């Protein structure tokens, strides 16, 4: 089995609290940055409309949480329901990862975005809203709170608080081992060929 990127096991870091539901991928990375033909360099445009007061990205919006001094260097993004809804653009997880986020903890995720995160070694963690309330409270009270995201044990820890999360077994394995999904499927080429051989001519 071919190895791809470095695996994800345990990550510790500070968090940025984006206390908002239904953050869509148009907000995460607006359309004008989608004309690139590479995967790199999207981090500087992350949350462009909220993060900058001007189109040239010279004037940061001091009100936006990502710009607040106390959350600089955060590698964990806290957010709410239905994060990543809308467009399928994988540029959204590319931008989050390029900016420096290793994991996004939210009440829930949109389906396509969730899959895109998994495929980019950006760990999406879904926690019940009561747990999210506690995490938000901890980080807002003390922005230097270290959040530990432990994938093998499926835990999020913040000080004394421990939360457990669910993740599909194959997603977990792929993230931990950093496996190349295409390489894995190519090993099933005989099965794919057998399937193709059974199809009617018109299908």
Partner 1 sequence: MAKTLYEKVWQAHIVDQIGDDSLIYIDRHLIHEVTSPQAFAGLEEKGRKVRRPDRTFATMDHSISTRSLALDACGPQNALQLKTLADNCEKNGIQLYPVGHQKQGIVHVMGPELGLVQPGMTIVCGDSHTATHGAFGALAFGIGTSQVEHVLATQTLKQSRAKSMLINVNGELPVGITAKDIILAIIGEIGHAGATGHVIEYAGDAIRSLSMEERMTICNMSIEAGAKAGMIAPDDTTFSYLEGREFAPKGDDWDDAVAYWKTLYSDSDATFDTVVELDAQDIAPQVTWGTNPGQVIGVNAPVPGPQDFSDPIEIESAKKALAYMGLKAGERLSDVPVSHVFIGSCTNSRIEDLRAAAVIAAKGKVASNVTAMVVPGSAAVKRQAEAEGLDEIFISAGFEWRLPGCSMCLGMNDDILTAGDRCASTSNRNFEGRQGRGARTHLVSPAMAAAAAIKGHFADVREL
Given a contact cutoff of 8 angstroms between Cβ atoms, the answer to whether 111 and 85 are in contact is no
Helix (H, G, I), strand (E, B) or coil at 138: helix
Query: Rule CB under 8 A: is residue 108 a binding residue for partner 1?
Result: yes
Minimum Å distance from CB 146 to partner 1?
Answer: 28
Query: Rule CB under 8 A: is residue 41 a binding residue for partner 1?
Result: no
Given a contact cutoff of 8 angstroms between Cβ atoms, the answer to whether 101 and 122 are in contact is yes
* Complex with partner 1: residue 14 or 52, whichever CB lies closer: 52
Minimum Å distance from CB 196 to partner 1?
Answer: 8
Size of the site for partner 1 (CB under 8 A): 52
Among 7, 81, 140, 153, binds partner 1 (CB under 8 A): 81
List Cβ neighbours of 29 (8 Å cut-off, separation of 6 or more). Answer: 42, 45, 46, 48, 89, 91, 92, 94, 95
Query: Rule CB under 8 A: is residue 39 a binding residue for partner 1?
Result: yes
* Complex with partner 1: residue 12 or 173, whichever CB lies closer: 173
* Complex with partner 1: residue 14 or 107, whichever CB lies closer: 107
Query: Rule CB under 8 A: is residue 133 a binding residue for partner 1?
Result: no
Distances (CA, A) of 14 to 11, 30, 75, 122, 131: 10, 26, 6, 16, 17
- 78: nearest Cα among 131, 123, 17: 17
Query: Rule CB under 8 A: is residue 59 a binding residue for partner 1?
Result: no
Binding residues (CB under 8 A) for partner 1: these are 20-22, 24, 26-27, 30-32, 34-39, 49, 55, 80-82, 85-90, 93, 108, 110-112, 115-116, 119-120, 168-170, 181-182, 185-186, 188-189, 191-192, 195-196, 200-203
């Amino acid at each position: 089995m071919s190895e791809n990127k470095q695996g994800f096991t345990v990550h510790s870091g500070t968090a940025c609290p984006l206390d908002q539901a239904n953050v869509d991928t148009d907000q995460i990375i607006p359309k004008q940055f989608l004309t690139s033909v590479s995967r790199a360099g999207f981090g500087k445009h992350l949350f462009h409309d909220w993060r900058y007061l001007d189109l040239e990205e010279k004037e940061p919006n001091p009100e936006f949480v990502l710009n607040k001094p106390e959350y600089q260097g955060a590698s964990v993004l806290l957010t709410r329901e239905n994060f990543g809804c809308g467009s399928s653009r994988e540029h959204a997880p590319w931008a989050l990862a390029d900016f420096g986020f290793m994991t996004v903890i939210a009440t829930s995720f949109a389906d396509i975005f969730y899959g895109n995160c998994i495929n980019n070694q950006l760990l999406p963690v879904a926690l019940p809203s009561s747990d999210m309330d506690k995490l938000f409270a901890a980080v807002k009270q003390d922005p230097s709170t270290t959040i530990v995201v432990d994938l093998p044990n499926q835990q999020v820890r913040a000080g004394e608080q421990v939360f457990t999360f669910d993740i599909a077994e194959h997603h977990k394995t792929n993230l931990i081992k950093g496996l190349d999904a295409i390489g894995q499927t190519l090993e099933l080429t005989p099965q794919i060929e057998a399937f193709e051989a059974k199809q009617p001519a018109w299908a």
